[in-house]
């Protein structure tokens, strides 16, 4: 029988139904064990290097899970369990109960292969402890004992400041949705800098740009417009992952448009048009009813306020002029009753998906031109 892999993946809260569809589509053999708000635990025979997902913020290889109905000191118990771990004594849930000092706490088997197998260039690691997605303080002895176990099995040395890889203890209380709380011990597979540090101000995180393009049902032969392209996350993913070659981008920020234009300058066999213009002026430079889909993230107050009271009405008037009959518009915007009122005369709302982005509640709106 082929090996199976257990993954824990984090994503933008609110997208769980979309994530489930993507996993089932990409991995027919996959079994979803937990589908949570902002995270999914799934099993597959596909190894990490072949997953090819663009909708996740981070992916982790699961080493061990504890599940319990009493969550008072779950993380401490998990760290103690790993700190005292001996392979010959932890073959089953029954054997583990004494080790973790609870008659109702159930520990899955420890996947030591995930600890042992590391990139040959990796020399160091650190432990990260998270309680409900918030960094948690932990007893120093428990941390040190767990570090010794990981170091003994992996051959890696501890570096709490600048490690090559990370091992996480993450606790979530899912009593309301899943019936029990759990703690997962895992190794982080996506080692990249925080997007808050690498993206331009106002630039969409790549997983969200990919998701907006997917929701727009983009086809290779279509012409796609992003009238508020900023630094180009949406057109970049439309071209790279949805193979759109007819792209029109516009923004009134000269610096952003210059960056986006340079981003696409070296692409071949693509028809990219860029306009450093206000979106009001687009009907004068783009043929009416020539656009199949609009995918965009207009200003909604996170980084730039809109003082024009008629902004939304004018925006949808421009969309209506440029879109073909039956054309689609996928728009990321804050939850705003005026937004829907501005669209209702010319567009039918197909779906709205509330999400949490950088701590703020926003909505993905999917429209079809009437």
Q: Supply the pLDDT for residue 363.
A: 96
Strands (E), the chain: 5-10, 31-36, 39-44, 58-68, 106-107, 124-131, 134-135, 157-158, 165-172, 181-188, 223-226, 246-251, 271-276, 291-296, 323-334, 347-357, 360-369
Q: Indicate the CATH number for domain 198-369.
A: 3.40.50.150
How confident is the model over 356-368, as pLDDT tens digits? 998 889 999 999 9
Instruction: Domain ranges for the chain, please list them.
Output: 57-192, 198-369
When pLDDT is averaged across residues 153-173 and rounded to a whole number, the result is 95
Residue 247 vs residues 192, 214, 220, 293, 369: alpha-carbon distances, Å: 29, 16, 11, 10, 19
Residue 307 scores a pLDDT above 80: no
| Global confidence as pTM | 0.89
pLDDT at 95: 45
- Give residue 2's pLDDT: 58
More confident of the two residues 271 and 23: 23
| pLDDT tens digit sequence for 55-70 | 999 999 999 998 875 6
Under the banding of pLDDT at 50, 70 and 90, the label for residue 218 is: very high
Q: How far apart are CA 73 and CA 82, in angstroms?
A: 15
Q: How far apart, in whole angstroms, are the C-alpha atoms of residue 289 and residue 208?
A: 27
């Amino acid at each position: 029988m082929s090996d199976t892999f257990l993954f824990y993946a984090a994503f933008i809260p609110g997208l769980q139904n979309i994530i489930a569809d993507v996993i089932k589509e990409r991995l027919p053999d996959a079994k979803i064990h937990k589908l949570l708000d902002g995270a999914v635990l799934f099993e597959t025979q596909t190894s990490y290097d072949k997953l090819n997902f663009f909708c996740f913020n981070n992916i982790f290889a699961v080493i061990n899970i504890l599940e319990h109905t009493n969550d008072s000191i779950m993380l401490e118990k998990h760290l103690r369990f790993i700190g005292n771990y001996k392979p010959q004594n932890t073959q089953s849930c029954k054997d583990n109960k004494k080790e973790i000092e609870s008659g109702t706490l159930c520990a899955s088997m420890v996947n030591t292969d995930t600890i042992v197998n590391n990139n040959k260039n990796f020399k160091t690691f650190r432990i990260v402890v998270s309680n409900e997605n918030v960094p948690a303080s932990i007893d120093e002895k428990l941390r040190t004992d767990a570090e010794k176990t990981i170091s003994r099995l992996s051959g890696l040395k501890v570096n709490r400041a600048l490690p090559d890889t990370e091992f996480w203890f993450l606790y979530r209380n899912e009593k309301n949705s899943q019936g029990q709380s759990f703690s997962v011990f895992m190794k982080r597979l996506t080692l990249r800098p925080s997007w808050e540090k690498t993206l331009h101000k106002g630039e969409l995180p790549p997983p969200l740009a990919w998701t907006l393009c997917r929701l727009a049902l983009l086809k290779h032969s279509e012409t796609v417009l992003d009238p508020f392209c900023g630094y180009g996350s949406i057109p970049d993913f439309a071209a790279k992952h949805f193979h759109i070659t007819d792209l029109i981008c516009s923004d009134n920020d000269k610096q952003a448009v210059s960056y986006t234009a340079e981003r696409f300058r070296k692409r071949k066999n693509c028809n990219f048009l860029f306009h450093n213009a206000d979106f009001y002026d687009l009907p004068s430079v783009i043929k009416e009813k020539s656009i199949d889909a609009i995918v965009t993230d207009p200003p909604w107050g996170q980084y730039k306020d809109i003082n024009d009271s008629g902004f939304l009405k004018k925006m949808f008037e421009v969309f209506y002029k440029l879109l073909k009959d039956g054309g689609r518009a996928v728009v990321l915007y804050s939850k705003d009753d005026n937004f829907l009122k501005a669209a209702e005369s010319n567009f039918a709302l197909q779906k709205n998906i509330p999400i949490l982005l950088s701590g703020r509640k926003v909505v993905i709106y999917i429209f079809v031109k009437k």
